[in-house]
Amino acid sequence: MPLTPERALTPERFAQGMTFDEYVAYTATPANLARESGWWLGTVRKDLSDLLRAWYEGPARLSDPQTAAIRLLAAQPDGPARILVISEEWSSDCRRDVTMLARMAEAGGLQLRIFPRDGQRLGRGPRADPAESPNADLVNSFLREQDGQTFQSIPIAAFLHERLPLPLALRRIPCDLSQAPARGRHARHPARREPRADVGPIHARVAGSAALAVLSDLDLGQRQRDSLGALRAGGGRI
């Protein structure tokens, strides 16, 4: 169910999410590790906070044109001011994209808040169960819809106006490395979905470019469109 003026995301609800540093710390807590996992290694969670920090300090870097683009977009009167993220750290897609979104928020001066998708049990149904997930209201507002079905897909990144409640733009960041060159040692392992560690810089560029592509589709003035075009023409990938 999408957000509407009657079903609004308030500043108070947004503020209940975690900052990136808070989220990284939370992933290592006993409370988080006691929750059910959904990755290929099984249902038991592992402390992946070091991986989150390593991605943030390593491949999660914006190029200069990407940094210029997010700052330009954030400076617009109705530009993005907040990023709401729904994530679970057992997902390798989430681990990489959350770190990239943290870099985008820093570059653009945006507020970032991260919400876990699940409660104690893994969300397997077409919608989040309010009796199970404390963030079911947000999850069900940003369900992925396809062929008449809904899915609790993650990660979700919603870019929001300063004037809540309504979202500015919403896109599930594409996380399939088939969008990037995959040859030789950069190819996925065929027997599992977990990518190799050495594809990190490629994935970071894809995720950053995808997020900025969403924002650059906004109804900007001609001057802003020209500026974004100049960034692309200057050889930097946005």
Instruction: Copy the structure tokens of residue 232.
Output: 């692309």
User: Is a pLDDT exceeding 90 seen at residue 227?
Assistant: no
User: Is a pLDDT exceeding 90 seen at residue 159?
Assistant: no
pLDDT at 9: 82
> How deeply is 152 buried, as exposed, middle or buried, from its count of CB atoms within 10 A (0-12, 13-18, 19+)?
buried
Quick: pLDDT tens for 127-153.
999 999 999 999 999 898 999 999 999
Mean pLDDT of 182-207: 40
- 182 compared with 229, residue with greater pLDDT: 229
User: For the chain, how are helix, strand and coil distributed in percent, rounded to 5?
Assistant: 40, 15, 45
> How far from chain centre, in Å, is Cα 220?
23
User: Is a pLDDT exceeding 90 seen at residue 116?
Assistant: yes
Q: Which residues contact 139 (CB under 8 A, 6 or more apart)?
A: 86, 117, 123, 127, 128, 133, 152, 156
- 213 compared with 184, residue with greater pLDDT: 213
Q: Which residues contact 75 (CB under 8 A, 6 or more apart)?
A: none
Quick: pLDDT tens for 57-67.
999 999 898 89
* Percent over 90 (pLDDT), the chain: 50
- The b/e string for 184-204 (b: 16+ C-beta within 10 A; e otherwise) is eebeeeeeeeebeeebbebbb
Residues 123 and 37 sit within 8 Å (Cβ to Cβ): no
The residue behind tokens 């809540």 is 164
What structural domains and CATH numbers belong to the chain?
A: 11-231 (3.40.30.10)
Residues 29 and 48 sit within 8 Å (Cβ to Cβ): no
